[in-house]
């Protein structure tokens, strides 16, 4: 892995990805075997932006291996609020922990922070940039349900600001996949992501409508379109409404289609879908713990 | 007219002459080099001078200062045809062309307002130079058009 840090999906080779997913498979099959493997290890949590599940699943992962967390807590009660730079904060906190997990609202924040620390640093989201640990659990979920090669995937929703999308799309270029990107015109993939996909030899197929590609998909990965991306409420409702799916939408889909979502969802996937065999998003969320256990195990120096 | 001609051809005793600058980019060249006249160096600028090769070109002469290749390579981003003459005792002692560097640090400002490099942190901007543009090493934003508009001053 890229200098012991996990900053971007671009730092992950196919071999890196497979090592994490294989380890995650072992952990999921026999969780007891990993208990105590990192007795005494401390994971520093620096969440400059609110997060519930990512933070909880990292905490659960390290505690399940016998380690513990040191948590910066919310930004408004920390020295960050007093104007401390990010570089200073991470330099101080690295002295308290064996590895750091950081989420920050600015793009490039994790890359910069990694220049100031020697302990492994995991980017748990940098603005609209990357979220590579989410990608690993997404890939794990895809692998266990559809396989990662000879895969046709549709990625839909906010592709411009969606960091989970940016990481996933790049990581998938390591595998034999066909990727379709479905979004409103204003929320298409950013130029740098499209550039990287081209450089990686991937054909970028972009659509504003799910209809024509849906029947060919093995996986549909849905992300949320946020209200704040639109100037007014009515435009938001109109556009977002076109990218919501329910059981009627899925009538045209393959029986084996898996629907995924990084959660939390609001109304982009109708609750009726939850009861169908298409729904994989809760399993996907559960996979967060074994995958993050595997990731931490490898980064903290597992054997 | 005579004065103009005089300015254009006047020789400098020692320093650096940057010739064949893309027309209109001379002030951006000075901005990149951090030359604003406050250090007292004598600087002459010719703009939109007729040129066989470029149609119109700019020329910059900086007296008493020999610019290094790495300083000058950054200029390739906005003036790819620039040629450099290092002058000592009125003679050209070295001639250089500019090469695209692999990266540029502290020269351009990232246009992404949400990029960590634009915040109050102890790092400068850092861009990787690609075949047809530059790319922020932090947020990965790509700039292809009008690099001069992103020069940090
Ligand atoms: Zn940037």
List b or e across B60-79, with b for residues whose CB sees 16 or more CB atoms inside 10 angstroms. bbbeebebeeeebbbbbbbb
Q: Are residues B20 and B85 in the same domain?
A: yes
CB proximity list for A254: less than 8 A, separation 6 or greater: A215, A216, A217, A218
What's the CA gap between A207 and A221, in Å, rounded? Answer: 14
Q: Is residue A2 part of a domain?
A: no
Count of domains for chain B: 2
Q: How far is CA A111 from CA A115, A132, A302, B137, in A?
A: 7, 13, 24, 8
Q: Which residues contact A259 (CB under 8 A, 6 or more apart)?
A: A219, A220, A222, A245, A250, A269, A273, A278, A279, A280, A281
Chain B residues whose beta carbon lies within 8 Å of the beta carbon of residue A198 = none
pLDDT at B71: 86
> What pLDDT score was predicted for residue A228?
84
Q: Is B138 in Cβ contact with A107 (below 8 Å)?
A: yes
**pLDDT recorded at residue B1:** 42
CB contact under 8 A, B114 and A112: no
Domain boundary among B52, B74, B97: B97
Please report residues of A whose CB lies closer than 8 A to that of B120.
85
Residue A272: partners with Cβ closer than 8 Å, 6 or more residues away: A246, A247
Q: Three-state SS for A20?
A: helix
Based on the fold, state whether residues B84 and B11 are members of the same structural domain.
Answer: yes
Specify the pLDDT at position B10.
67
- How many A×B Cβ pairs under 8 Å? 56
Q: Residue B128 sits in a domain of what CATH number?
A: 2.30.30.20
Establish whether A103 is a catalytic residue.
yes
What's the residue count for chain A? 303
Does the CA dihedral A31-A32-A38-A43 come out positive or negative?
Answer: positive
Q: Is the CB of residue B110 less than 8 Å from the CB of residue B118? A: yes
* pLDDT digits 0-9 by tens, A66-115: 999 999 988 877 666 678 899 999 999 999 999 999 999 999 999 999 99
Task: Supply the pLDDT for residue B69.
Answer: 86
Phi/psi at A76 (5° precision): -70, -10
pLDDT at residue number B4: 47
Q: Looking at the structure, tell me whether residues B93 and B114 fall in a common domain.
A: no
**How remote is the CA of residue A73 from the centroid of ligand 1, in Å?**
27
- Does A3 reside within a domain? no
* Pairing relationship of beta strands B15-22 and B83-88 according to DSSP bridges: antiparallel
- Are A281 and A136 within one domain? yes
The last residue of one of the domains, among B76, B97, B118, is: B97
Instruction: Give the CATH number, domain containing residue A210.
Output: 3.40.50.1370
Q: How far is CA B80 from CA B25, B43, B68, B139, B149, in A?
A: 11, 21, 16, 26, 16
| Residue B92: CATH number of its domain | 3.30.70.140
Check A5, A23, A64, A103 and give the catalytic one. A103
The predicted pLDDT at position A139 comes to: 98
Q: Which residues pair with A177 in a beta bridge?
A: A151
pLDDT number for residue A112: 98
Q: Are A142 and A262 in contact (CB under 8 A)?
A: no
Residues of A engaging B, defined by a Cβ cutoff of 8 Å: 85-87, 104-109, 111-112, 115, 126-129, 191-192, 195-196
Q: What is the pLDDT of residue A3?
A: 55
Domain assignment of residue B141, given as a range: 103-150
Q: Which pLDDT score is estimated for B7? A: 47
Distance, CA of B19 to CA of B71 (rounded, Å)? 15
**Residues on chain B touching A87 (C-beta within 8 angstroms):** 121-123
A267 vs chain B: nearest CA distance in angstroms? 28
Both B24 and B48 in a single domain? yes
CB contact under 8 A, B139 and A85: no
Cβ <8 Å between A111 and B114: no
DSSP A33-87: HHTTTTTT-EEEEEESS--SHHHHHHHHHHHHTT-EEEE---GGGSGGGGT--HH
How far is B115 from chain A, CA to nearest CA, in Å? Answer: 5
Q: Do B117 and A104 touch (CB under 8 A)?
A: no
pLDDT digits (tens, 9 = 90+) for A48-68: 998 889 999 999 999 999 999
Q: Give the domain extent around A234.
A: 132-285
The pLDDT of residue B30: 94
What is residue A293's DSSP assignment?
A: H
Judged by CB atoms closer than 8 Å, whether chains meet at B140 and A128 is answered as no
Is A139 in the same domain as A281?
yes
Residue A302: its pLDDT value, please? 53
Per-residue pLDDT of chain B (153 residues; tens, 9 = 90+): 444 444 444 689 999 999 999 999 999 999 999 898 898 889 999 999 999 888 999 999 999 999 888 889 999 999 999 999 999 999 999 999 999 999 999 999 999 999 999 999 999 999 999 988 999 999 999 999 889 899 987
Q: DSSP E strands: which ranges in A96-162?
A: 99-104, 121-126, 151-156
Handedness of CA A81, A82, A83, A88 (dihedral sign): negative
Distance A112 CA to ligand 1 centre (A): 11
Please report which residue ranges of B23-140 form alpha helices under DSSP H: 26-33, 69-73
Nearest CA in chain B to A89: B121
- Give me the tens of pLDDT residue by residue for chain A, a chain 303 residues long: 545 899 999 999 999 999 999 999 999 999 999 999 999 999 999 999 988 899 999 999 999 999 999 999 888 776 666 788 999 999 999 999 999 999 999 999 999 999 999 999 999 999 999 999 999 999 999 999 989 999 999 999 999 999 999 999 999 999 999 999 999 999 999 999 999 999 999 989 999 999 999 999 999 999 999 888 888 899 898 899 999 999 999 999 999 999 999 999 999 999 999 999 999 999 999 999 999 999 999 999 854
Task: List phi, psi (to 5°) of A297.
Answer: -60, -45
Q: Of A183, A207, A209, A205, give the one whose Cα is nearest residue A194.
A: A205
Q: Tell me which chain B residue has its CA closest to the CA of residue A10.
A: B140
Domain boundary, last residue among B80, B97, B114: B97
Residue of A23, A37, A131, A278 marked active site:
A131
Question: Is residue A53 among the annotated active site residues?
Answer: yes
A128/B116 Cβ within 8 A: no
- 3-class SS of residue A127: coil
- Is A99 in the same domain as A172? no
Q: Residues B71, B145: one domain? A: no
Half-sphere exposure in the Cβ direction for A198 (13 Å, CA)? 8
What total number of domains does chain A contain? 2
């Amino acid at each position: 892995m890229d200098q012991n840090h996990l900053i971007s999906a671009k730092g992950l080779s196919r071999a890196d990805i497979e090592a994490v997913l294989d380890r995650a498979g072992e952990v999921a099959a026999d969780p007891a075997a990993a208990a105590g493997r990192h007795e005494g290890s401390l994971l520093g949590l620096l969440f400059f932006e609110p997060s519930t599940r990512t933070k909880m699943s990292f905490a659960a992962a390290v505690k399940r291996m016998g380690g513990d967390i040191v948590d910066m807590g919310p930004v408004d009660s920390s020295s960050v609020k007093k104007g401390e730079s990010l570089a200073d904060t991470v330099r101080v906190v690295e002295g308290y922990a064996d590895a750091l997990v950081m989420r920050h609202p600015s793009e490039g924040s994790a890359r910069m922070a990694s220049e100031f620390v020697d302990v492994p640093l995991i980017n748990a989201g940098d603005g609209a940039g990357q979220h590579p640990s989410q990608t690993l659990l997404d890939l794990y979920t895809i692998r266990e349900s559809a396989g990662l090669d000879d895969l046709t995937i549709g990625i839909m929703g906010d592709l411009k600001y969606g960091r989970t999308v940016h990481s996933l799309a790049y990581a998938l270029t390591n595998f034999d996949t066909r990727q379709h990107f479905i979004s409103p015109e204003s929320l298409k993939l950013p130029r740098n992501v499209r550039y990287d996909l081209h450089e990686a030899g991937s054909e970028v197929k972009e659509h504003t409508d799910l209809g024509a590609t849906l029947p060919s998909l093995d996986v549909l990965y849905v992300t949320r379109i946020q209200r704040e991306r639109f100037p007014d409420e009515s435009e938001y409702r109109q556009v977002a409404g076109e990218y919501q799916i329910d059981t009627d939408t899925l009538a045209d889909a393959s029986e084996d289609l898996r629907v995924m979502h990084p959660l939390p969802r609001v109304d982009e996937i109708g609750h009726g879908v939850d009861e169908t065999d298409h729904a994989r998003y809760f399993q996907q969320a559960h996979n967060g713990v074994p995958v993050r256990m595997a990731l931490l195990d490898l980064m903290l120096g597992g054997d | 007219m005579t004065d103009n001609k005089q300015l254009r051809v006047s020789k400098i005793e020692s320093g650096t002459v940057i010739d064949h600058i893309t027309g209109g980019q001379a002030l951006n060249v000075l901005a990149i080099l951090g030359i604003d006249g406050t250090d007292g160096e004598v600087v002459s600028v010719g703009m939109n001078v007729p040129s066989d090769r470029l149609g119109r070109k700019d020329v910059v002469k900086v007296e008493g200062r020999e610019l290094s290749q790495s300083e000058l390579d950054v200029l390739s981003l906005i003036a790819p045809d620039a040629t450099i003459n290092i002058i000592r005792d009125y003679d050209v002692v070295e001639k250089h062309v500019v090469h695209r560097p692999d990266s540029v640090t502290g020269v351009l400002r990232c246009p992404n307002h949400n990029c960590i490099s634009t915040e109050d942190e102890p790092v400068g901007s850092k861009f990787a130079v690609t075949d047809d543009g530059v790319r922020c090493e932090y947020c990965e934003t790509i700039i292809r058009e009008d690099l001069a508009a992103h020069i940090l001053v």
